Structure 1
Amino acid sequence: MSSQQIVLASTSPFRRELLQRLKISFTTANPETDEAVLDGETPPQTALRLSEAKARAVAANYKDALIIGSDQVAFLGDQIFGKPGNHENAVRQLQAMRGQTVNFFTGLCLLNTQTGKAHVCGVPTLVTLRDLSDEEIENYLKLEQPYHCAGSAKSEGLGIALIARMQGEDPNALIGLPLIALCEMFRQEGIRIL
């Protein structure tokens, strides 16, 4: 089994909480990455690029580590639903998404700083929102204030009441860290979870 340090390149309490479920020792680091979308980039390409960029952003501080980077982009057609930042933007996002199926695409990277090898994959989760009334949207936002969450909702909280159905291979991906894919990446790097 590898003795490399495991680093989560994220300040998200939700990703930290998910990684703790694996009962492994890890540290966190702030990747301080520019999350702007590049011209001509598709939402999945953005999520994949940023997941690796976040891992590489902290790599210089860890010479013998496995660094986890993750990024999520929510999109419907060519419309991207990022972190709304405030109430008004969140209302607009939820109004645009109600009754629709939105792809919450999560990019994941596991970077081995000793070898330079990066495992990168994407995990889509299709979320169909209920046909929400304006009153339901307002009530939800006042109660949960998910202004720092892509798509203006937290499925791990009250946001689950907004959802009609979900389709995906890993329920953890919607929260921001696809643990099934991560466990496979760990196995490829010699880390045993069990």
Structure 2
Amino acid sequence: MDEPRPALILGSTSPYRRELLERLRLPFSVIRPEVDETPLPGEAPADLALRLALAKARAAARIAGGQHADPVVIGSDQVADLNGQPLGKPGNHQCATEQLRQMRGRTVLFHTAVTLLRPATRYEQTVMATVTVRFRPLQDEEIERYLAAEQPYDCAGSAKAEALGITLLEGIESDDPTALIGLPLIRTCALLREAGLQLP
């Protein structure tokens, strides 16, 4: 008799992470983790991403534990890093404009952390994928045209590289291509296998 499949939970309401996880063709449900994303004083961008991924997974696991006997929970967070300063989601046009002006002609690191929890087996692991992104020396009118067309106000660093934001860039270096979109699937697959899930 087959063992029941553990319930896979995405602890995120990001439509980008949901679309990426759907690529694995595993059934999953979504839980919104209530987590304060404010950086701690002096917290490095990479540390912020790691802390928030873990906090989101744990918050979602607490909710999932009341709904499922054996939840497997994914939490993830992305923070853009400009010379050690964190850049989060801009939220509006003015902040997005300021972010892109800061990043033009510069190299930005995008840290995407992912945590996987399986409380029933006490499995807990957090890993990081860092993507190096080189921005072109953008003109103000290019920034304005891009923002009017894409409105990437829910994206860390204000640039959707999977869409029109690719026109803003000179180069991307990554060993986990989906990390820049919001969920490093190569690392996520490795964690899922370690936690006991079977992937195609």
Bucket of the pairwise TM-score, normalised by the shorter protein: over 0.9
Q: Is the 8 A contact 2:44 2:85 kept in 1?
A: no
Which secondary structure state, in structure 1, belongs to the residue aligned with residue 76 of structure 2?
strand
Structure 2 distance, partners of 1:2, 1:172, is: 30
Match of 2:74 among 64, 68, 74: 68
1:84 partnered with 2:90? yes
Identity rate of aligned residues, in percent? 51
Q: Is the 8 A contact 2:44 2:86 kept in 1?
A: no
In structure 2, the residue matched to 1:53 is 55
Superposition pairs of residues 85-100 of structure 1, within 5 angstroms: 85-100=91-106
In structure 2, the residue matched to 1:6 is 8
Please report the RMSD computed on the Cα atoms of aligned residues, expressed in angstroms: 1.2
1:117 partnered with 2:123? yes
**Gaps spanning 5+ residues in structure 1: where?**
none
Structure 1 distance, partners of 2:75, 2:4, is: 19
Which secondary structure state, in structure 2, belongs to the residue aligned with residue 114 of structure 1?
helix
Deviation larger for 156-165 or 173-182: 156-165
Aligned residue type for 1:52: L
Which secondary structure state, in structure 2, belongs to the residue aligned with residue 10 of structure 1?
coil
Match of 2:27 among 25, 28, 34: 25
Q: TM-score, normalised by structure 2?
A: 0.94
Aligned residue type for 1:114: A
1:167 partnered with 2:173? yes
Q: Is the 8 A contact 1:9 1:28 kept in 2?
A: yes
Q: TM-score, normalised by structure 1?
A: 0.96
Distance change in 2, residues 1:93/1:67 (3 Å): same
**Gaps spanning 5+ residues in structure 2: where?**
none
Q: Is the 8 A contact 2:53 2:77 kept in 1?
A: yes
Q: Is the 8 A contact 1:2 1:191 kept in 2?
A: no
Match of 2:190 among 184, 189, 192: 184
Off by >4 Å, runs of 4+ in structure 1: none
Structure 1 distance, partners of 2:91, 2:6, is: 36
Structure 2 distance, partners of 1:68, 1:59, is: 9
Q: Is the 8 A contact 1:7 1:28 kept in 2?
A: yes
Distance change in 2, residues 1:26/1:32 (3 Å): same
Match of 1:44 among 27, 46, 62: 46
Q: CA deviation at 1:180?
A: 0.2
Q: CA deviation at 1:157?
A: 1.3
- Report the number of matched residues: 194
Q: CA deviation at 1:160?
A: 1.0
Which secondary structure state, in structure 1, belongs to the residue aligned with residue 43 of structure 2?
coil
Which secondary structure state, in structure 2, belongs to the residue aligned with residue 93 of structure 1?
helix
